[in-house]
Structure 1
Amino acid sequence: MKENYFFNLYRDHFSVGTNTAIYFSILTKLVLILLIGFLLFRLVHIFSRRYLSRFVIRTKTSFDDLLIKNKVLLGFTRIIVLILLDLSLPNIFKGAPRLLFYADKLVLLLISFFIIWFIRSILFTLKDFLRTFSSFKDKPLESYVQIFMIFVWLLGTLVVFSILTGQSLLKFLTALGAFSAVLLLIFKDTILGFVASIQISINDTVRLNDWITMEKYAADGNVIEINLVSVIVKNFDNTITSIPTYSLISESFKNWRAMSNSGGRRIKRALYIKVNSIRFLNEDDITRLSKIDLISDYLQQTQTNIEQFNTANKINKDLIINGRNLTNLGVFRIYVERYLANHPEINKELLFMARQLAPTTHGIPLEIYAFSKNKIWLNYERIAADLFDHFLASVPFFDLELFEHPTGKDLSNIHS
């Protein structure tokens, strides 16, 4: 054994035994090398925070800013310090081969871990950098990062076993092939999630910030994350729902993106008119309804055309059912359409109408179909409510009645 300074110092100056001098020498050199490594790491940290950060802020590209944000330089520094420590181990543990053996394995394990962490930082930097491009902002990049990290961790685990057992890494890779079927079973959900992420990205079925609805999982809100295993949805009641990624290609869901990108948000509701309130209009009714500005010209023109038709065809008008006639429901339908056409919040470039649907046990549905210009949920609901407030209040002017189930008060009035 070649003697060194610290060994001689402890043995001669402090008059300790040979074995004790060896261990004190190892401890002293280990503390010194760790102190040097710590100081080197702190210097890089201070340099990165004070000087390098100022420099990258001035550059035009954001990539270097993201390198600093994800601590790539610090991760690289950890690896360099550990490599220097590993190279110094033979000198530090001179005279203690058993300690050298265990210390070497420990440092190699730390190097392996920090290399994996360094790769993770690089991948996160690339992901954040790609997010700065509009074409990647709504892509499930997290899924790709996660699947790559699974392979990195798997390889890192094999390296750890190789270090601990002293066996060749090639032997573990060969054994891994034999257990591939078991691994496929273990990572079935991960593999399905990865396939689903690729299909979602290629088919563009879901993007970040899309509003989706999936009743099976009680999801109704905006997508805030798409990863390898799940799609995270922030519902409108501020709850969070996690949907398995594979479910988005194997099951049905509703994506409201097309509506959000269109010129309006659809209003589709119906008024249910009592059948026995529908009747023909007489002259007094037409005179009264002609005072309504939106339909006055329609009533005059239509009534003139009807009278001309009935006269030309010698229709017997002793009974009002004969020939052509206006009905209160038909005139109300025209009123609704004209009201929509004159409403400032209805998009006139998209379809709008009031249509009569097939009779039901609840009466005749008069469905209002239109698109609100404002697609924000709160404003949309206010516009729809204002429309139907007006229509509900307008129904009695046309001598129509709305259907509703009898209440307790209605039933008590019947018995009384």
Structure 2
Amino acid sequence: MTAQSVTQWLEGHQVPLEFAQLGGWAFAILYLLVFALLANFLAKRLIAYIIHPVIKKTSTEWDDLLISNGVFVRLSHIVPAIAIQVFSPLLLGSGDNMTKVIDLAVNLYLIIIALYVIDGGLNFMRALWERGPLGKRFPAKSFTQAFKLVVNLIGIIFILSVLFDESPLVLFSGLGAVTAILLLIFKDAILGLVAGFQLSVNNMVMVGDWIAMPARGADGDVIDVSLTTVKVQNWDKTITTIPTYALISDSFKNWRGMSEAGGRRIKRALNIDMRTIQFANEELLERFKRIRLLRSYLDAKLEEIQKYNADVGDDLAELINGRRLTNIGTFRAYCLAYLRNHPKVRQDLTLLVRQLAPEEHGLPIEIYVFSNDIAWANYEAIQADIFDHFLSVLPEFNLSSYQAPSGADLEKAAAAFKS
């Protein structure tokens, strides 16, 4: 039954011609919509009960991404458009004005569905790339978004060509006149695309990296790198959004090297009160010899000193004559030996115990080592344990740490002065 036959049937029942034509068109359009919905339903059932199960049973894993990105489901939307395109001339007649309107609507629908399918295909290709060995190092999200932008712009031109019944080439030729406007509108996208390419090629940042960018208030893990923005989840769980091109124009710190090396640096100094630094007398030497970690150091050092002093031949009764051990030097040797035997310290990376320049807060003895655990909480615990021990053993070397006078110290000094 066609629109014309329905119109004739209504006219036979004394319905005015205009209303009879509207009734015929309404019947044909309703018939087409029902048929299109049925075709779409059957296409989706075919995909859900035949195509998807076959894909899931295959031994390969990449084809599962076609399901997760809905590529076949998106393709199913083309079926009702084809059904309408085929049956509309049969129901409405090839020369009918309503047929032309339906053809226009179907063409617009097909362009939109084509863009929808291409979008799903690009998502599939991106997911497939990111599952590969280079996917993490060279994320494809920014490039995929740029390509989607170009495809959608082309799609808009085709939509306009259908609406205005003009060749797409005519509209493409007119793009030159609005190039400056397009560059202004898509400035961030263009800068982001170039920056994303530089970030990927130079391997500057990737998802999962810990970066610090104080100028932008970012200090945490990179969770997303897109065409125009990079999202960083800070340690307080807030999220900072940074323009992609800012990572090229501004400086930032990437902690990836620490993660790849498997060691996290400990760099902290103990400030020693310089009034407690002294030569080691016999009593102090005997105390040192009872420390297990210092035995090999003392044997070698005392032998070296004894040989030197024997060659000099000065009066060694005075401490200033000849060479002698100091409590601060022995303490540095103890710290080094302790770290050499610490199970949580990387022995294959830099390990230093050094003396820095004296300052108003005492003599800094800096510990420069790497822990073998880079997890934040574990790293802090290792660092605290090391310095807890070093601070506790200072009295064994007749040393004390520097501490600025507090209010209580000043009160004691004032009381002593009054008395």
The residue aligned with 2:385 is 386
Q: Distance in 2 between matches of 1:333 and 1:90?
A: 95
Q: Which residue of 2 aligns with 1:259?
A: 258
What secondary structure sits across from 2:257 in the alignment?
A: helix
Q: CA deviation at 1:367?
A: 0.8
* Aligned residue number for residue 352 of structure 2: 353
Q: Which residue of 2 aligns with 1:408?
A: 407
Gaps spanning 5+ residues in structure 2: where? none
Distance 1:305 1:73 in 2: 82
Distance in 2 (alpha carbons) for counterparts of 1:52 and 1:80: 16
CA distance in 2, matches of 1:217, 1:281: 53
For residues 337 and 386 of structure 2, what CA distance do their matches in structure 1 show?
12
| Aligned AA (1:7) | T
Aligned to 2:18: 19
Question: 8 Å contact 1:264–1:373 — kept in the other structure?
Answer: yes
Query: SS of the residue aligned with 1:134?
Result: coil
Maintained 8 Å contact 2:3/2:27: no
Give the match for residue 7 of structure 1. Answer: 7
Task: Tell me, in whole angstroms, the C-alpha distance in 1 between the residues paired with 2:47 and 2:414.
Answer: 87
- Asked if the contact 1:62–1:129 (Cα under 8 Å) also holds between the matched residues in 2, the reply is no
Q: Given residue 67 of structure 2, which amino acid in structure 1 is its aligned partner?
A: I
Cα distance change on mapping 1:121 and 1:95 into 2, 3 Å: closer
Q: How far did residue 123 of structure 1 move?
A: 0.3
Give the SS at the match of 1:56: helix
Most deviating of 167-176 and 278-287: 167-176
In structure 2, do the counterparts of structure 1 residues 407 and 49 end up closer, same or farther at CA, with 3 Å as the change threshold?
Answer: farther
**Unmatched segments (≥5 aa) in structure 1:** none
Partner residue in 1 for 2:38: 39
CA distance in 1, matches of 2:3, 2:374: 82
2:124 maps to 125
Aligned position for 1:184? 183
Residue in structure 2 matched with residue 141 of structure 1 by the alignment = 140
Using structure 1 for the length normalisation, give the TM-score.
0.94
1:355, CA displacement in angstroms?
0.7
Superposition misfits of 4+ residues, deviation over 6 angstroms: none
Task: Specify the code of the residue in structure 2 equivalent to 1:348.
Answer: Q
8 A contact 2:39–2:83 mirrored in 1:
no
1: CA distance, partners of 2:82 / 2:403: 81
Residues 243-322 of structure 1 mapped to structure 2, 5 A cutoff: 243-322=242-321
Q: In 2 relative to 1, CA 15–69 (structure 1 residues): closer, same or farther, beyond 3 Å?
A: farther
User: What is the DSSP-based 3-state SS (H/G/I as helix, E as strand, rest coil) of the residue aligned with 2:84?
Assistant: helix
Q: Which letter maps to 2:231?
A: I
Tell me what 2:52 maps to.
Answer: 53
Q: Secondary structure at the match of 1:179?
A: helix
In terms of mean alpha carbon deviation, does 268-277 or 100-109 score higher? 100-109
Other structure's SS at 1:371 match: strand
Shift of 1:90: 4.1
Q: Is 2:272–2:400's contact at 8 Å kept on the other side of the alignment?
A: yes
Question: How far 1:20 sits from its partner (Å)?
Answer: 1.3
Alignment deviations for residues 129-150 of structure 1 (CA, whole Å, 9 cap, x no partner): 1122122133221111100011
Letter in 2 for 1:285: L
Find the counterpart in structure 2 of residue 72 from structure 1: 71
Query: Which residue identity is paired with 2:113?
Result: F
CA shift digits 1:266-321 (9 cap, x unpaired) = 11111111222211111111112221111133224422332332232112223212
State the one-letter code of the partner of 1:136. G
- Could you report, residue by residue, the CA deviation over 1:11-64 in whole angstroms, capped at 9, with x for unpaired residues? 32x431222121111111111111111112112222222332221111122333
Q: Distance in 1 between matches of 2:251 and 2:331?
A: 39
Q: CA deviation at 1:338?
A: 0.2
Task: Tell whether the 8 Å contact from 2:351 to 2:369 is kept in structure 1 after alignment.
Answer: yes
1:329 Cα deviation from its structure 2 partner: 0.8
SS at match of 2:76: helix
Q: Match of 1:308, as an amino acid?
A: K
Q: 1:190 to 1:3 in 2, by over 3 A?
A: closer
The TM-score normalised by the length of structure 2 is 0.93
